[in-house]
Amino acid sequence: MNIVIFGAPGSGKGTQSALLIEEYGYYHISTGDVLRGQIAAGTELGKIADSYISHGKLIPDELMIEILDDVMSAHPESAKGVVFDGFPRTIKQADALDELLAKRNQKLDIVVGLEVEEEELIARLINRGKTSGRSDDNMETIKKRLDVYNNQTNPLRDHYMEQGKYAAVHGMGSIEDIYSHIKAAIESIKK
């Protein structure tokens, strides 16, 4: 199965992806982690990525799509199923994801949307910033990232709803409870 874990910054995508990987053994692709890996390695791509990430902006679609294609090709185990975490973030990326999967004779099965109130998102991100060392976990950049999410990424919710692929999950409460709702959504489409 190919699963997208969708939601605003701070909605718990990384945490819940890790639980899904543990249980189902799918391949995890966090585009944010891929980019931070490039930054840490000091590559040219990392330098470009950093100039966007530290300002809370999205990496341009063309570049991001190319990076994802490369990651999928470099990891043949992704053919068994992927949890996409942080991708797609624009309609253009969503269309590209369909194409990337189609050329591998696959399709996107479900988009799990973690729905969390904005106040809670900000509190979580500020808290994460105390230990994450991330250049974008500060109040100024958090606000920009939430704007970007609301304007560019949130329209994907309707996009996937129209396709009947969107499963809304209330993303507040304990990690275990949230995970059990995600699991139920995934199991329901497996039948």
Of the candidates 96, 102, 91, which has an alpha carbon nearest to the alpha carbon of residue 159? 91
Residue 169 β-bridge partners: 114
User: Which of 2, 5, 7, 9 is in the footprint of ligand AMP by CB under 6 A?
Assistant: 9
Count the residues of the shown chain that bind ligand AMP, applying the rule CB under 6 A: 17
Which of 31, 38, 78, 106 is the binder for ligand AMP (CB under 6 A)? 31
Instruction: Figure out which of the listed residues 7, 86, 113, 171 binds ligand AMP, where binding follows CB under 6 A.
Output: 86
Residue of 190, 117, 177, 169 whose CA lies nearest to 5: 169
Determine how many CB atoms are found less than 10 A away from the CB of residue 139: 11
- The position carrying tokens 């995970």 is 179
Q: Which residues is 138 bridged to in the sheet?
A: none
- Which residues have a Cβ under 8 Å from the Cβ of 163 and sit 6 or more positions away? none
Say whether residue 87 binds ligand AMP (CB under 6 A): yes
Our CB check for ligand AMP shows the closer of 12 and 86 to be: 86
Q: Is 97 an interacting residue with respect to ligand AMP (CB under 6 A)?
A: no
Which among 37-45, 85-93, 100-108, 182-190 is the span making contact with ligand AMP, rule CB under 6 A?
Answer: 85-93
Determine the number of helices (DSSP H) and then strands (DSSP E) in the chain.
Answer: 9, 5
Residue 32 found at the interface with ligand AMP (CB under 6 A): yes
Q: 3: which strand partners?
A: 83, 110
> Among 58-66, 98-106, 166-174, 183-191, which window interacts with ligand AMP (CB under 6 A)?
58-66
Q: Considering the complex, state which of residue 67 and residue 185 has its C-beta at the smaller distance from ligand AMP.
A: 67
Token pair belonging to 49: 């990525």
**Residues of the shown chain interacting with ligand AMP in the complex, contacts defined by CB under 6 A:** 9, 31-32, 35, 52-53, 56-59, 64, 86-87, 89, 93, 136, 145
